[in-house]
Amino acid sequence: MRWRFPKRVRAGWHWFRSLNENPIYLREKGSWGNPNPFYETVRRYSPFVVMGAIVLGLCAGFNPGLVGTVEDEALFIFMCVVCLPGTLLSMLTIYGSFMAPALTAPTISMEVDRGTWDILRLTPHSTASILLAKLFGGLARLPIWRVMLALSCFQALMLVCVLSVTAGTTAVSTSLSAGFFSLFIGLGALIRPWVEVLFAAFIGMYISTWVKSARVALAGSYVIVVLMKIFSNSAIWLGIWSLLGMADGGVLTGSILTPTILYGTAVLFLWWGIVRQAGKLSS
């Protein structure tokens, strides 16, 4: 008997593939109608955003936890090569985190303010389907996804290679399989930039379900994004894990995995809150 994907998974994949025929997705993407005007307003200041992303990316892209695990000079140089795509990835993540709320914060509040949210709810689409179509349509306007995918995959692959080589000289080899640990760290590095941008997008959409003013939703989103950036900073968690007396493995876990887990958990809770609050708006 041939194994098949669960029915819900197949339905979700079919829905995703049919997005280009979804009018809600196409409107948010800007293919027809009047798309979100706030993104165009924020994009006028994109040169300043890019410069800020470059400066902050240079500061955030260098991970001292990784360099601390390398003793050989050749490997140290190799780690610097790994940090270069990490720096570029940090720049893209910062840029995406700043632009994403402008795409999602007004999505619900503008619909409610215009009185069109109830009209959307009369369509055959479920609340979750409407929200996801708005999310994907808005984020599709960001021109960063292909480059982010290439950089995140490259960085994850390089981390797995480097940690597999250096694991024999660290305390990790006495507690965990070197291969398992390397894959775990690489997976965390791969996921982190995506959940950071998703967090910024979700927090904007979540606030827009509570307030009718799109400007208030956008301003509140930026405040929370900045606070989360500070709280999830790798250097802070690196220091916390170091103070706890954790050696090499703990340093890497604290500086790479902890922020990823924080953002991932926040994204899951935000999505639950968005669907729940949007359901209340339609009642």
DSSP class of 175? T
Contact 175, 253 (CB under 8 A): no
Alpha helical stretches, state H, 3-72: 7-17, 23-29, 37-43, 46-60, 64-67
**Identity (one letter) of the amino acid at 235?**
A
Span 93-141, pLDDT tens digits: 888 888 888 888 888 888 887 888 888 888 888 888 888 888 998 898 8
Span 200-243, pLDDT tens digits: 999 999 998 888 788 888 889 989 998 888 887 766 666 666 66
Distance CA 173, CA 192 (A): 25
**Identity (one letter) of the amino acid at 95?**
Y
**Residue (of 235, 182, 183, 262) closest to 62 by Cα position:** 235
The residue ranking higher by pLDDT, 282 or 146, is 146
pLDDT at 70: 47
Percent of the chain with pLDDT over 90: 11
> What is the chain's percent helix, strand, coil content, to nearest 5?
80, 0, 20
51 pLDDT band, cuts 50/70/90, is low
Distance CA 12, CA 190 (A): 23
Give the global pTM: 0.80
